[in-house]
């Protein structure tokens, strides 16, 4: 009987310890700052601790790589703790997806940010913006023949894609798209990206 009570007590303490040391992120945000940097901010809930918290990035939303590992113990038993980190080298002209990996293999929800560049303004002309039914793209000084144009919603899901042989002006029909803000990605069939812009659909 005493042995049984001892084992039950030991199991209770182990469960309490595991619960206290479990990792849980209650807030995770990313936003672009400046021309080519991304600010990541996250909060660990009170009672959560972890080792080897890693920031991961992807440019397609599925294949992630670790770009930074937070050193030492993170979190606190007594209070929520806020952290931040700046990615100074996101991929230009790309959609950048971020998530945080915890030591147990737990992941946060994926957050996305689009990275423009001053060079994008010299690569193509988007007109009109906002658009209600049709918009057009005109490339500037491009040597490639097949143009790939993709529209993503702000959650990073592909909504519409177009492939065009290179021409002076390419028109896209968007009548069926719901009103809102979309990310317009212009590139080529070989994977090269010219730029990412925001397109408002009215």
What is the DSSP-derived secondary structure letter of residue 12? H
List the end-to-end C-alpha distance of the chain, in Å, as a whole number: 73
Domains assigned to the chain: 23-114 (2.60.40.2060), 118-201 (2.60.40.1930)
pLDDT of residue 67 exceeding 80, the answer is: yes
What's the average model confidence in pLDDT over 14-22? 37
Q: State residue 65's pLDDT score.
A: 93
Q: State residue 114's pLDDT score.
A: 65
Whole-structure pTM value: 0.53
Q: How confident is the model at residue 167 (pLDDT cuts 50, 70, 90)?
A: confident
Query: Which residue in this structure is represented by tokens 């909060």?
Result: 43
Give the containing element (helix H, strand E) for 65: strand 65-69
Other Cβ atoms closer than 10 A to 166: 13
Distances (CA, A) of 183 to 105, 114, 154, 196, 200: 30, 8, 7, 7, 9
Q: Considering only CA atoms, give the Rg of the chain.
A: 23
- Comparing 141 with 16, which gets the higher pLDDT? 141
How do beta strands 158-165 and 146-152 pair? antiparallel
pLDDT of residue 172 exceeding 60, the answer is: yes
Signed CA dihedral, 109, 88, 190, 184: sign only: positive
Instruction: Tell me how far apart the alpha carbons of residues 106 and 121 are, in angstroms, rounded to a whole number.
Output: 40
Q: How confident is the model at residue 2 (pLDDT cuts 50, 70, 90)?
A: very low
Q: What is the pLDDT of residues 110-140, one digit of tens each?
A: 877 766 543 345 578 888 988 999 999 988 7
pLDDT of residue 21 exceeding 60, the answer is: no
Q: State residue 174's pLDDT score.
A: 94
- Comparing 168 with 42, which gets the higher pLDDT? 42
């Amino acid at each position: 009987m005493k042995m049984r009570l001892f084992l039950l007590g030991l199991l209770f303490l182990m469960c309490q310890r595991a619960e206290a040391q479990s990792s849980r992120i209650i807030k995770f945000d990313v936003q672009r700052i400046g021309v080519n940097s991304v600010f990541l901010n996250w909060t660990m809930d009170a009672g959560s601790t972890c080792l080897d918290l890693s920031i991961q990035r992807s440019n397609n939303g599925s294949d992630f790589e670790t770009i930074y590992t937070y050193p030492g113990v993170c979190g606190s038993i007594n209070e929520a703790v806020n952290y931040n980190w700046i990615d100074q080298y996101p991929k230009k002209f790309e959609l950048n997806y971020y998530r945080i990996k915890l030591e147990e293999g737990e992941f946060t929800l994926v957050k996305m940010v689009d990275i423009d560049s001053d060079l994008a303004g010299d690569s193509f002309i988007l007109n009109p913006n906002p658009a209600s039914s049709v918009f057009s793209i005109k490339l500037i000084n491009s040597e490639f023949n097949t143009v790939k144009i993709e529209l993503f919603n702000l959650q990073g899901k592909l909504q519409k894609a177009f492939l065009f042989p290179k021409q002076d002006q390419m028109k896209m029909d968007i009548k069926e798209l719901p009103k809102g803000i979309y990310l317009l990605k212009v590139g080529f069939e070989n994977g090269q990206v010219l730029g990412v812009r925001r397109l408002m659909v009215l």
